[in-house]
């Protein structure tokens, strides 16, 4: 009887840098609804936002994925989500 099957630390070796702790978890950077992830940083003065899944979202709705892939703008500006503080 050798309880050597501990695998507590193996998950830290995964490649994806974002550590999403949201419930439900945010869409991954390679999923179709990647821009539905939570905002981690918002810099309107610079025209970009960083999403929880590592996607860089630009104000023209263009995106830069964590793997370096570039997504062309795909939405009109007027549909951007507005967060209203209560």
Kindly tell me which residue out of 52, 54, 55, 63 binds Zn ion, with binding defined by CB under 5 A: 52
What are φ and ψ of residue 13, in 5° steps?
A: -95, 5
Beta strand residue intervals within 15-72, DSSP E: 39-43, 48-51, 56-58, 63-64, 70-71
Q: Shortest Cβ distance from residue 48 to Zn ion (Å)?
A: 18
Question: Distance from CA of residue 24 to its chain's centroid?
Answer: 13
Q: What is the DSSP letter of 75?
A: S
Choose the stretch contacting Zn ion; rule: CB under 5 A; options: 5-13, 37-45, 56-64, 68-76.
Answer: 37-45
Closer residue to Zn ion (CB): 6 or 14? 14
Choose the stretch contacting Zn ion; rule: CB under 5 A; options: 7-15, 46-54, 61-69, 76-84.
Answer: 46-54
SS3 10: helix
Site for Zn ion in 57-76 (CB under 5 A): none
20 binds Zn ion (CB under 5 A): yes
């Amino acid at each position: 009887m050798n309880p050597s099957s501990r695998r507590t630390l193996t998950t830290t070796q995964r490649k994806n840098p974002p550590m999403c702790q949201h419930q439900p978890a945010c869409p991954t950077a390679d999923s179709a609804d990647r821009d539905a992830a939570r905002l981690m940083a918002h810099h309107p003065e610079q025209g970009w936002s960083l999403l929880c899944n590592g996607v860089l979202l630009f104000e023209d709705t263009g995106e830069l994925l964590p793997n370096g892939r570039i997504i062309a703008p795909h939405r009109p500006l007027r549909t951007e989500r507005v967060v209203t503080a209560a």
